[in-house]
Chain A
Amino acid sequence: MWQSGGVSDEDRLSRAQARTILGRVLKMAAPFRKMIYLSFACVMVTTTTTLSAPVIVRYGIDAGIRAGDVDALNLSVVLYLVVVSFTYVFGRLLFVFVNRTGESFLRVLRLAVFRQMQRQSMAFFDRNKAGVLVARMTADIESMSELVQFGLLQFLSATLMLIFAIIVLLFLSWQLTLVALIVMPVLVLASIKFQRDSNKAYLTVRERVGTNLSALQEGITTVRVIQAYAQEEEAIRKFKISNRSLFASHEKSVRISTWYFALIEFSGVLASGLMIGIGGWFVHRGTVTLGTVVAFVLLLSSLFDPVQQLSQLYNTVQSAGAALNKLFAILDAKPEVDEHHAAVDLPQTGELKVSDVSFTYVGADSPALRGVSIKVGVGEKLALVGPTGAGKSTLAKLMARLYDPQTGSVEFGGVNLKMATMPSLRERIAVVPQEGFLFNGSIRDNLRIARADATDADIEAAIDAIGATDHFAQFSDGLDTQVRERGSRLSAGERQLVALARAALVDPAVLVLDEATSNLDPGTEAEVEHALERLMAGRTVIVVAHRLSTVQRADHIAVVVDAKIAEYGSHSELLARNGHYAELARAWQKSHAPS
């Protein structure tokens, strides 16, 4: 349509920001410098040839036809043909070069942003919602592809066209150039106003398209509730409100473009009218030739089209700038948890020791952990229990260095985790999250997430280690079964099995488990339990527990309440103490008893 981009006021860049961004873009695009020069050369050629056509026609008319010189006429025809061929050939090359440059740039940008995103620590992912990060990598980068495919090219050629056109016109006749430019101020002012209004209208449309889609989706996904309560008419009435408001915003934006395009069309004709009137007067006085007036009439569009194009591109360029600004913010983010320059490998085994650790999430009012100390000996099983949000998961995460504590230290075998090399850390301490999270691909691919260099034999051994060989052998494609999106092909229990096999593949000394709160399908529940038991055997285990049975199997239980360890001991010891733990255990029992 007539507009493809839009930018809200808070995203609009300042002049200084724009300059910085341009500088960084050029730096990133440095590898394609040659291609950029070639593109530029092509734009120069095509612009020149496009503009020289009317000049050649003028020569043909004045020197050839009017002077009765057949040779001059023929020469002009040949020249015209040459110019047209040039326009074509260089036009083709231009597309190739500009598109290749642009897409290469987007590719580099995608890779750079993603790599940097991956380097960030967990805190970064807590701060930035998943949807926003995905949008950066998709919508924001894609918003530039229009610019890359057409915009950049149009921008270059429109600017050059405008400059060249004015030069050519001045060269032909400065008097007529002034006549042609009479309309220009009106056109420029109108374009600026249009650009502003249409940007605003576009943002409204975009927002309402989103709202309307959500309304639509809500209607479809909640159809069972709507029908169960016989509220179809009410739901339709509500949808109509959002749908009609979308229509109203479309209507408004068309209205804005209506007067603008009307004015554009009028200005073009107005300029021709003036050219005939004033230009004709000049011809009568002998100041300019008829051919010049004709050339001017023909060249007027070369003057007006670029202005119009530039005004429409303005928004696209603006929104690309805003997108780049956000992307560079990611590229500039420093990972909080990173490898120390003097990092050492962790020892094969050792005691896990948390000393006086405090930790506050970024943006949180109060600390999640306050001066916590605890020791887990080699092969010992520790269960962390406590109310939601008391800090038990945080403690587990710190013990796997998903975060670094603000004060205090976490040591493994006497080495501070902050000083450990990343690969050795991930080999010694494996984290198995609550839900068995699966990636697109086969079961085998999903295990390789844990160790990219694992052989097929390693993978099979890992599956065997948790006793799930038979289970996955039931699948027709075995370990090559595609798990589909988010593992939807597998049951929750099977996904959990894959997650456990991943940990087995790493063969870590320490296992950090976050027990699932929700329940699994009865069929695989037992298998998961069994796999877990095999996996835990002989390893140090820290488990964030939600079930009594798990807790009872642990050597020690730490009850985390209000960012601190409130109680520590074995199941029976803590029951006897009749404190937080005893209360929790009673609540668990009560909720599951049949009557």
Chain B
Amino acid sequence: MSVSETDSEVSARLEFEQAQRSEGWKLLRGLLRDQRRNLVIGGLIGVTWASFKVAIPQVTKFAINDGIEKNGPLLKWSLIIIGLGVMTGILSGFRRYVAFRESRWAETLLREKLFSHVLGLNIGYHDKAQTGQLMSRASSDLMQIQAFIVMIPITMSNIIQIFAVAAILFITDPVLAIVAMAPLPFVNISARRFSNRIHPISIAVQAEQAQLANVVEESVSGVRVVKGFGAEQVQFDKLEKEADDIFREAMKASKIRSNFLPAIDVLPALGAVGVLGVGGHRVLSGQLSIGDLVAFNVYLTLLVWPLRNIGMIVALGQRAASALVRIHEVLSTNSEITDPTVARDLPSQNGRQLGAVRFDHVQFGYDAERPVLRNFNLDIAAGESIAIVGATASGKSTVARLLLRFYDTDNGHVFLDGVDVRKLKLRELRQQIGVVFEDTVLFNDTVTNNISFAKPDAAQTDLERAAKLAGAHDFILQLPNGYDTVIGERGFSLSGGQRQRIAIARAIISDPRVLVLDDATSAVDPSKEGEIRDAMRTVMSGRTTIVIAHRPGTIALASRVVFIDDQAVAAIGKHEELVATNARYREVLASMQQAKSDTAKAAV
């Protein structure tokens, strides 16, 4: 909150926050609608449990008065109490089970909802979103919500318990009831204040721990620098500072704990002292029985936990509310790229070659102020292969992204086989385009599942055909478990070239009309580039292919070169022609060459 905020700004902000919160609660209500029945059952179990629980001291009192003092039937009383014990035991188990199960279920469903929603959001959203942020929505925020939901049935029974106990105490002896219960509201207040005060400190402790982790992480990852320069002491000093920070915050937390927890423990005891003093005198003057006095003490202990819990649930509710607001924010974001209301179909084969691509007066920028492409026109015939060449950040890769409809053009149209891509179902469009991304992304899964990713129901023969075309079959057979080898970040580690070829196999398995190769050879050992290029050449034949060239060697794969400069198509033609006629092309080529390989210089 800034200091200079005016009253009207404050009220506007509060109003906004209020509106946000009510949206958040609406989300929770909607979420719990299907589980309403179980939650009510949980609540009823809790209420029944609470009434049994409250009955026990009452029965104990009768047992003492009637059974022990008046020589009544002890066995009967004893069995009644044990019977009540069986009931409370069973009911408390069920209450717990229902509360946890339902809260976990709600958490599970909400996580799935969040995941599917995020996965459907347009790429523009993902460009801006931070993975860490989304992850914490789906983990720690959901945890806060779960912690709140689990308290719902418990709170219901707690409230009943408090009222029942209070009623019994007042019926037995109103004066003594007031004495006994006077300190109790403070238990509730303290519990709530404690929870609110300790929360920011625990977050601060976590933040300091994260900073210490950073120092450790960089010291370990950068160990060659540390060792190479003998910088151990420098890093140690940094770590010591972080360790001291953690210590300082932990001491703050300890102070808050010492301020509240012993007080919360002791407050009910003050009531008990009052009961002994005031109650004792009332027994002496004959206004109260001893049994009642004992029961009073027992009842007091029955109030402590419910009051503490209610204090906690208020704080938990506040945290859950902010978590809900954050989750609602994600869920209420709509994808900017969606299926058309009335979708058209792509034309079918009919003996013609398919895969014609046309960009018609396209204008596009990642932010509207700065267009990357302006008046961009390009016709790619079916079956043709073209290489897109341009300086860094000239919009080469953007062309492919527009074709995939990762983004929509600001102006102009993109056509696949004569149909505006916006008129197609996203699924149909994207299934017809096979992409190999610049950074080869593989999943932590088997080779089979990685290749058949685009076509989960692919037969083994299709799979192997794609792998063979991509020049991957042979090395896959060499892997420890062949096609069943788990690869990816946590699996068997492949070389850049091998990853590349698996990505190519994935791109062609569903036999797409258009193939986009965002030249990833930059991640490949120079001596292996030739092999990749061979694989590319094979899969390109007879298929519309757009090669986005980041290094000169790849250009040769295509029959025509499209040279992008100054936000539009600057020239189209054969590589040699362009080299001969276009000075700017030579310049860009040279900068690519200079950056990507000084070998070329040496070789020419």
Contact = CB atoms under 8 A, between A and B. Distances in A.
A587 B526 contact: yes
B93 A258 contact: yes
A81 B274 CA distance: 9
B332 interface: no
18 contacts: A65-B290, A77-B273, A99-B251, A117-B219, A119-B232, A133-B220, A219-B119, A220-B126, A224-B406, A262-B92, A263-B89, A265-B93, A266-B90, A517-B525, A519-B595, A519-B597, A592-B596, A594-B575
A95 B229 contact: no
B213 A266 contact: no
A592 B298 contact: no
Contacts of A138: 209, 212-213, 216
B514 to A, nearest CB: 12
Interface in A91-127: 91-96, 99-100, 103-104, 106-107, 110-111, 114-115, 117-119, 121-122, 125
B392 A594 contact: no
Given A228-B430, A234-B456, A65 B75 contact: no
Given A110-B239, A258-B97, A270-B82, A228 B404 contact: yes
A185 interface: no
Interface in A431-451: 431-433, 437, 439-440, 448-451
B212 A110 contact: yes
Nearest to B89: A266
B569 to A, nearest CB: 20
Interface in B244-268: 244, 246-247, 250-251, 253-255, 257-259, 261-263, 265-266
Contact of B254 (A149, A230, A520, A595): A149
Interface in A68-103: 68, 70, 73-74, 76-77, 80-81, 84, 87-88, 91-96, 99-100, 103
Contacts of A84: 266, 269-270, 273
A269 B603 contact: no
Given A92-B258, A122-B223, A251-B101, A222 B441 contact: yes
B64 interface: yes
Chain A contact residues, majority secondary structure: helix
Which among B69, B135, B216, B234 has the highest number of chain A CB atoms within 10 Å? Answer: B216
Interface string A204-221: 000000000110111111
Q: Which 9 A-B pairs have CB atoms at the shortest separation, nearest pair first?
A: A269-B85, A277-B78, A266-B89, A262-B93, A91-B262, A99-B254, A431-B228, A522-B595, A592-B597
A64 B281 CA distance: 9
Contacts of A232: 116, 119-120
A261 interface: yes
A155 to B, nearest CB: 16
Interface in A239-259: 239-240, 243-244, 246-247, 250-251, 254-255, 257-259
A221 B126 CA distance: 9
Please classify how large the interface on chain B is, using the bins under 10, 10 to 19, 20 to 34, 35 or more.
35 or more
Given A134-B213, A223-B126, A276-B63, A229 B229 contact: no
Contacts of A222: 441, 443
Contact of A76 (B71, B74, B276, B591): B276
B33 interface: no
A57 interface: yes
A276 B67 contact: yes
Chain B contact residues, majority secondary structure: helix
Contact of A107 (B69, B123, B246, B258): B246
Given A272-B56, A590-B530, A422 B269 contact: no
Contact of B112 (A99, A240, A439): A240
A125 B221 CA distance: 9
Interface stretch (B156-164, B308-316, B548-556): B548-556
A506 B228 CA distance: 11
A130 interface: yes
Interface stretch (B103-111, B345-353, B358-366, B408-416): B103-111
Contact of A254 (B100, B262, B404, B551): B100
Given A293-B68, A519-B595, A53 B272 contact: yes
Interface string B191-231: 00000000000000000010011111111111111111111
B134 A423 contact: no
A280 B269 CA distance: 27
B209 A142 contact: yes
Interface stretch (B35-43, B321-329, B372-380, B431-439): B431-439
Contacts of A220: 118-119, 126, 131, 134-135
B92 A276 contact: no
Nearest to B213: A138
A319 B437 CA distance: 44
B171 interface: no
Given A239-B112, A265-B92, A268-B85, A276 B556 contact: no
Contacts of A590: 530
Please classify how large the interface on chain A is, using the bins under 10, 10 to 19, 20 to 34, 35 or more.
35 or more
Nearest to A251: B101
A117 B216 CA distance: 10
Which among A61, A268, A506 has the highest number of chain B CB atoms within 10 Å? Answer: A61
Contact of B239 (A111, A283, A293): A111
Interface string B258-300: 1101110110011011001100110110000010011001100
B2 interface: no
Contact of B454 (A61, A231, A262): A231
B96 A257 contact: yes
Contacts of B75: 277
A274 interface: yes
Nearest to B592: A522
Nearest to B256: A95
Contact of B594 (A115, A239, A259, A525): A525
Given A99-B257, A594-B553, 11 more contacts: A66-B290, A93-B258, A137-B212, A216-B111, A297-B294, A298-B297, A431-B227, A431-B228, A433-B225, A502-B229, A587-B526
Contacts of A53: 269, 272
A88 B265 CA distance: 8
Contacts of B435: 225, 228-229
A461 to B, nearest CB: 17
A589 interface: yes
B601 interface: yes
Contact of A272 (B60, B262, B276): B60
B595 A520 contact: yes
Given A99-B250, A214-B444, A594 B228 contact: no
A182 interface: no
Interface in B358-411: 392, 404, 406
A402 interface: yes
A88 B222 contact: no
A276 B270 contact: no
Interface in A275-331: 276-281, 283-284, 290, 293-294, 297-298, 301
A549 B601 CA distance: 9
A61 B293 contact: yes
Contacts of B553: 591-595
Contacts of A290: 64, 68-69, 290
